[in-house]
Structure 1
Amino acid sequence: MVIGLTNDDTISAIATAVGEGGIGIIRLSGDKSISIADKIFASNAGKRVINTPSHRVLYGTIIDPENNETVDEALILVMRAPRSYTCEDIVEIHCHGGPVPLQRVLAITLGEGARLAEPGEFTKRAFLNGRLDLAQAEAVIDIIRSKTDASLKAAVGNLSGRLSEQVKGLRHAVLRMIAQLEAAIDFPEEDIEEAAAADVAELIKQADLQLASLLATAQTGRILREGLATVIIGKPNVGKSSLLNALLREKRAIVTDIPGTTRDIIEEYVNIRGIPLKIIDTAGIRETADVVERIGVERAKELVGQADLILLLLDSSTPLATEDKSVLTLLSGKQALVLINKSDLPARLEVAEVEKYTAGRQVLKISVTQGMGLEQLEKEIVNMVYSGQINQGEAMFVNNVRHANALRQAQQRLADALTTIEAGMPTDCIVIDLRAAWEKLGEITGDTVGEDIIDQIFTQFCIGK
């Protein structure tokens, strides 16, 4: 971990979302934060910011030093180092939340010696100053972008250090293996290298089980973080747009009895029992001479290849048609649920015939207009995401692709070390593989990560965080 910053700049940025609001916040961090605030703030009680103890609030007005003009009423919150988010002196200026007062106050702080913060620079300073490790810092942006309670819980869990603790535990275990082997190398007269290698082989197997357990949560974690990419497909007029509206619980898509109403792609997020679904309604898949509709059909087929889950709709009131069979062929190699819609109408579709084309996939009877089967559909989606095994309220998830890749690479390095042991190769070769695994695990917490990766991670943050 790199401790300390390479410069002593004081940074300033608007920390609240753009737009109108009751309160807006300008945040400063750095050695000059308190002195800058002292120059531009007049307390109604005559108190000075520079003399204010940490974690105290003052009420007064922001004054433009150039013309002594009152800009806005404000509260000043002082947080002195190291008891702050960045471990530096921080001042937050709480004023009215309109764009004009916020920009005006920000400009005044910049005029008094602060510079505009880069995206994510406050959190980057928190990381560089040792308050957060890299996995915890990345959890901050996951919290901001959470789409459901479940995704928020997963992000908060990682911010609290659940993932970091497990990764650090694994790193310590690998480090003990390295120490055990190096001790054997240092004392060749004891003739313990073979016994040490055998002990390490067992420890590698135990570590591999822990890595496998962590990686088993990666798919679910990614879905909670990014959303389950779900595509609704079927022939025209089978009820795709009606299903989208039912899941959203609002009339988002146009629904008519005219086949081919949906020509473009409609994308929305929907919360299914805590799981964010990035759900996409597509054009009905059929042969058509209409140029616009044909483009929509081709786009629908493309999206099927990118989806995490496909919801394929069939019409219970009509026999299985050639168009239906064509759509069913798109399911090859994909996770899908087959939904027989309009099940409240007299049935003309044979379920047994449908099952010939579904390769054992779940087939559910639903009626979107009557609300029949939708609860069962939601249950099946939840079971797919959690594999019916994980208690989402208590579980820790690997929800970051970077983390998952590092874990997989660490697992591979441990496997290489085990192969090296089994091949009877020199102890030095085993140590090389173990050190590689130790370094890969360190990339998750930031202990062994390069500056370029750190910079890339924090550019994903908004300015002010």
Structure 2
Amino acid sequence: MYREETIAAISTPLGEGGIGIIKISGDKSLEILKSIFVTKGHKRKEDWEPRKMVYGYILHPQTQEMIDEVLAVYMKAPNTYTKEDLVEIHCHGGMVPLRKILALVLEQGAAMAEKGEFTKRAFLNGRLDLSQAEAVMDLISAKTDVSHDVALGQFEGILSQEVQGIQEIIKDMLAHIEVSIDFSEEDIDEVTMEHLLEKSIKAKESFETLLQSAKTGKILREGLVTGIVGKTNVGKSSLLNALLRENRAIVTDIPGTTRDVIEEQLNVRGIPLKILDTAGIRDTEDAVEKIGVQRSREIFQQSDLVIFMIDASKKLDREDYDFLEIIKDRRALVIINKTDLEEAIDLERIKSIVGDKKLIRISLLKNKGLEALEDALEEMAYEGDGFSKEQPFITNARHQQAISQGLMSLEEGIKALENRMPLDFVEVDLKNAWESLGEVTGDTVSEDILDHIFENFCIGK
């Protein structure tokens, strides 16, 4: 699980840039830096003051070849990211100097870092718990400001504190049960059973509150895959352009202009959307357009959210009503476009089919109704509750699974208490609930799961 070697890796993205960084962590970090670094007068530097950036050069210790002009900093354990001695070498950002310096560091005794090994060491050395460590990658991959705020909150321990709070309730119950079992010759009074039941219900409410955040958390972390579907010329590509605030998709009066799926990443009030503008659904003899229509139907099935567009100026046909029947059981919005023209649709019939689905009237030509659409998207993402930086969100499928399993175990314990079963049975269920929560913070996680988590990190982190 833990390698004793000093490790090193390039910590900046591959490619050309102003600055590139090589990171070294472990007992030999400073020793390696001393062997390859010289100051401006080509003198070896022995007295390194922690956290002070030093200007100089990287030289090959045998050939004296100068590799690059750099800035280097030494950070002394335990006040570092990994809680080990840490060195950073800031060189020019091209791949040649970065690779040459890394090769030299490895020659001097460092081992190549594995994926996520710096953060894994931070976890194993107690600087971060596991949910905080996982938040590092969420910070790196955040698609919007809100996604960043959620990841930062998890990195700062908001989710961990919530989980640990539930664990404390369960721990208190387990202690109570232990005392009762130790004095098992005495009858367990009704007050004890009611106390345990009351605590269990309180813990259950906390579990459920956390799990309610999972749907929004998933959206903020991964984005909401949103398919725009509808007949030809209802305004699908115009809607994409309006949301993007640019002319990304070609818009004409000719049916079948969009022949393939156009995919765009979009930020709507901090909510990351993956918008898929599809080919218009219609019967066609054009072979290429037929493929596009078929892909539109596939996107319709795969999308997290379906935006079904209708042309208000044309009567709906059987295929339109068939689609309305389908989306009434999906997460969907119905957009009625071209409301600036004389309406020909049967609005009451549409409402009777889709039930409580939102119907949003817009005119893309007149630039009306977009704000209402963005309001609906925001309400859908946050389940109507809005966003708070202080609120814990479950953004990770692993966390959701562990917390769900913990809730199931707790519910079994509640049933046992309600049926006045022996406390030994209750104790088993409560311990299972506590251990499930421990998988979130890393208290009870297996080595295999740890390896799997950090395999998804980049090498330099």
Question: Into which bin does the TM-score normalised by the smaller protein fall?
Answer: over 0.9
The 1:49–1:277 alpha-carbon spacing in structure 2 relative to 1, beyond 3 Å, is: farther
Q: Which residue of structure 2 lines up, in the alignment, with residue 93 of structure 1? A: 89
Q: 2:269 maps to which residue?
A: 273
- Cα 1:86–1:45 change in 2 (3 A) is farther
Aligned amino acid, residue 409 of structure 2: R
Equivalent in the alignment of 1:200: 196
Shift of 1:47: 7.0
- Which residue identity lines up with residue 31 of structure 1 in the other structure? D
Cα distance in structure 1, aligned partners of 2:224 and 2:4: 43
Q: Which secondary structure does the structure 2 equivalent of 1:407 belong to?
A: helix
Q: Look up the SS of the partner of 2:221 in the other structure.
A: helix
Q: Which amino acid aligns with 1:20?
A: E
Is 2:165 the partner of 1:184? no
**In 1: Cα distance, 2:353 partner to 2:259 partner:** 26
Residue correspondence of structure 1 range 76-87 to structure 2 within 5 A: 76-87=72-83
- What pairs with 1:371-386 in structure 2 (closer than 5 Å)? 371-386=367-382
SS at match of 1:339: strand
Q: What are the superposed Cα offsets for residues 89-143 of structure 1, whole Å, 9 maximum, x if unpaired?
A: 1100001111111111111111211122111111011001110000000111000
Is the 8 Å Cα contact of residues 34 and 50 (structure 1) preserved in structure 2? Answer: no
Equivalent of residue 170 in structure 2, options 154, 164, 174? 174
Q: Does 1:124 align with 2:120?
A: yes
Provide, for residues 289-343 of structure 1, a one-character-per-residue CA deviation record: whole Å limited to 9, x for no partner: 3333333223222222232211111112212123322332330311111111122
Query: 1:314 and 1:269 mapped to 2: Cα distance?
Result: 23
Deviation at 1:194, TM superposition (A): 5.0
How far 1:178 moved relative to its partner?
0.9
Q: CA deviation at 1:251?
A: 1.9
Q: Structure 1 stretches of 5 or more lacking a match?
A: none
2:142 aligned partner, one-letter code: S
Judge conservation of contact 2:23–2:460 (CA < 8 Å) in 1.
yes
- Opposite residue 384 of structure 2, the aligned amino acid is G
2:309 aligned partner: 313
Whether 1:220 and 2:211 are equivalent positions in the alignment is no
**How does the TM-score come out when normalised to structure 2?**
0.96
2:343 is matched with 347
Tell whether the 8 Å contact from 2:360 to 2:373 is kept in structure 1 after alignment.
yes
After TM superposition, give the deviation of residue 170 of structure 1 in Å.
Answer: 1.0
Deviation at 1:218, TM superposition (A): 1.0
The alpha carbon displacement at 1:391 in A equals 3.4
Residue in 2 aligned with 1:463?
459
Q: Distance in 2 between matches of 1:287 and 1:443?
A: 52
1:396 lines up with 2:404 in the alignment: no
Alpha-carbon distance, 1:48 to partner = 5.1
**Which amino acid in structure 1 is aligned with residue 197 of structure 2?**
A
TM-score by length of 1: 0.95
Cα 1:117–1:193 change in 2 (3 A) is farther
- Match 2:233 to one of 237, 241, 246: 237
Q: Are 1:338 and 2:326 counterparts?
A: no
| 2:130 equivalent in structure 1 | 134
Q: What CA distance in whole angstroms lies between the structure 2 residues aligned with 1:190 and 1:390? A: 51
Instruction: Give SS of 2:354's match.
Output: coil
Query: Shift of the alpha carbon at 1:392?
Result: 2.9
Q: Hey, what's the Cα distance between the residues in 1 that align with 2:45 and 2:307?
A: 59
| CA distance in structure 1 between the partners assigned to 2:284 and 2:179 by the alignment | 74
State the alpha-carbon separation in 2 of the partners of residues 50 and 455 from structure 1: 37
> What stretches of structure 2 of length at least 5 have no aligned partner?
none
Cα deviation per residue 1:188-232 (whole Å; 9 max; x = unaligned)? 234336543331111000001111111111111111000111110
Q: Which moved more, 1:326-335 or 1:180-189?
A: 326-335
Residue equivalent to 1:162: 158
What secondary structure is seen at the aligned counterpart in 2 of 1:81? Answer: coil
> Does residue 290 of structure 2 align to residue 294 of structure 1?
yes
Change (3 A) 1:327 1:192: closer
- Judged with a 3 Å threshold, the aligned counterparts in structure 2 of structure 1 residues 50 and 294 are, in CA distance, closer, same or farther, namely farther
Alignment partners' CA distance in 2, 1:48 and 1:248: 55
Q: How far apart are the structure 1 equivalents of 2:386 and 2:239? A: 28
Letter matched to residue 297 of structure 2: K
CA apart distance, 1:464:
0.1
Deviations along 1:388-442, whole A, 9 cap, x unmatched?
2233343221111111111111111110001111222211111000000000000
Please tell me the residue identity of whatever aligns with 1:370: K
Matched, 1:412 2:445: no
Q: Give the alignment of 1:29-48 within 5 angstroms.
A: 29-44=25-40
Separation of aligned partners in 2, 1:426 and 1:323: 61
CA 1:454/1:302 → structure 2, altered by over 3 Å: closer, same or farther?
A: same
Q: In the alignment, what sits opposite 1:324?
A: 320
CA distance in 1, matches of 2:48, 2:135: 32
Deviation at 1:32, TM superposition (A): 1.2
Contact 1:78 1:91 in 2 (8 A): yes
Counterpart residue type for residue 350 of structure 1: D
Question: Quick one: distance in 2 between partners of 1:269 and 1:426?
Answer: 55
**Distance in 2 between residues matched to 1:238 and 1:49, nearest whole Å:** 71
| 8 Å CA contact 1:235, 1:323 repeated in 2 | no
Q: Contact between 1:118 and 1:463, CA under 8 Å: does it hold in 2?
A: yes
**Is 2:225–2:303's contact at 8 Å kept on the other side of the alignment?**
yes
Q: Are residue 428 (structure 1) and residue 405 (structure 2) matched?
A: no
Corresponding residue SS for 2:434? helix
Letter in 2 for 1:33: S
1:441 and 2:443 matched: no
Give yes or no for contact 1:231–1:310 (8 Å, CA) kept in 2: yes
Partner in structure 2 of residue 151 of structure 1: 147
Amino acid paired to 1:104: K
CA distance in 1, matches of 2:298, 2:277: 13
Question: Structure 2: how far apart are the matches of 1:79 and 1:32?
Answer: 12
**Cα-to-partner distance string for 1:232-257 (whole Å, 9 max, x where unaligned):** 00011211111111111122222222
Kindly state the Cα deviation for residue 50 of structure 1 after the two structures are TM-superposed: 4.7
Question: 1:237-256 maps to which residues of 2 (within 5 A)?
Answer: 237-256=233-252
Question: For 1:321 and 1:159, how far apart are their aligned partners in 2?
Answer: 52
